[in-house]
Amino acid sequence: MTDTYADLLACEDLLLFAGAAISSTGQREFHSGAAEQRLSLEFLHEYVHGTHPDVYALTLALHVNDHNAAMVVHRLLSAPRSVAPAEERARENGLIRRRLAKMPPQRVYRLFTRLARERVNNRRTRAVMRAWIGARPNLALDAVKYRSGLRAAARHARVDLPGEVGVFLFSPPAKRRRHRYGSPLLRAHGRAHYSASDLYDLPYTVAEGFAAHHRVPRVVFLEGVRERATRAERLRLSEGARRHGVDTRVDLTTAPLLRLCVYVLSLPLSERRDRRAELEDALAGSALRAAGTAAGTWPRTAAVLDDSYSSIGSPVRRHHPLAAALACHHLIRALAPEGSSHWVSGHTDPLTVRPTGPTHLAERILDALETGPARVVVVSDGHDSTPPLLADTLTLWRRHVDPGRETAMVHLNPVFDAEGLGMRPLSPAVPTIGLRDPHTLPSLVELARFGEGRLGLSDLREHLRATADAYLEAT
The pLDDT assigned to 47 comes to 92
Q: What is the pTM of this model?
A: 0.86
Report the relative pairing of strands 432-434 and 408-413 from DSSP bridges. Answer: parallel
The pLDDT assigned to 245 comes to 57
pLDDT in tens, 47-60: 999 988 888 999 99
Nearest to 69 by CA among 29, 113, 24, 28: 24
Nearest to 375 by CA among 301, 430, 297, 275: 301
Domains of the chain, earliest start first: 193-250 (no CATH), 269-473 (3.40.50)
Mean pLDDT value of segment 12-26: 86
Least confident interval from 171-180, 200-209, 356-365? 171-180
pLDDT in tens, 275-311: 999 999 999 999 999 998 989 999 999 999 999 999 9
Specify the length of the chain in residues.
475
Distance in angstroms (rounded) separating the CA atoms of residues 404 and 393: 17
Distance in angstroms (rounded) separating the CA atoms of residues 221 and 217: 6
pLDDT higher than 90, residue 105: yes
Mean pLDDT value of segment 245-273: 83
Q: Is 233 helix (H, G, I), strand (E, B) or coil?
A: helix
Sequence-ordered list of residues with C-beta below 8 angstroms from that of 349, at least 6 positions apart, any chain: none
Q: Which long-range contacts (CB under 8 A, 24 or more apart) does 93-98 make?
A: 93/124, 94/472, 95/57, 95/58, 95/60, 95/61, 95/468, 95/471, 95/472, 96/57, 96/60, 96/128, 97/128, 97/131, 97/132, 98/60, 98/471, 98/472
The pLDDT assigned to 464 comes to 86
- Is the model more confident about 85 or about 153? 153
Whether 305 contacts 343, CB under 8 Å: yes
Mean pLDDT value of segment 249-273: 87
Give, in order, the Cα–Cα distances in Å from 226 to each of 153, 205, 221, 271: 31, 12, 8, 21
The pLDDT assigned to 73 comes to 96
pLDDT higher than 80, residue 231: no
- Is the model more confident about 113 or about 11? 113
8-state DSSP, 424: P
Least confident interval from 111-115, 134-138, 163-167, 377-381? 163-167
Average pLDDT of the chain, as a whole number: 87
The pLDDT assigned to 413 comes to 92
Q: Residue 242 — very low, low, confident or very high, per pLDDT cuts 50/70/90? A: low
The pLDDT assigned to 46 comes to 93
Nearest to 24 by CA among 57, 67, 72, 75: 67
- Is the model more confident about 462 or about 104? 104
The pLDDT assigned to 24 comes to 87
pLDDT higher than 80, residue 188: yes
Least confident interval from 114-123, 251-260, 347-356? 251-260
CA dihedral 47, 102, 254, 296 (to 10 degrees): -60
pLDDT in tens, 418-462: 888 788 889 888 988 888 888 888 888 878 777 766 667 788 888
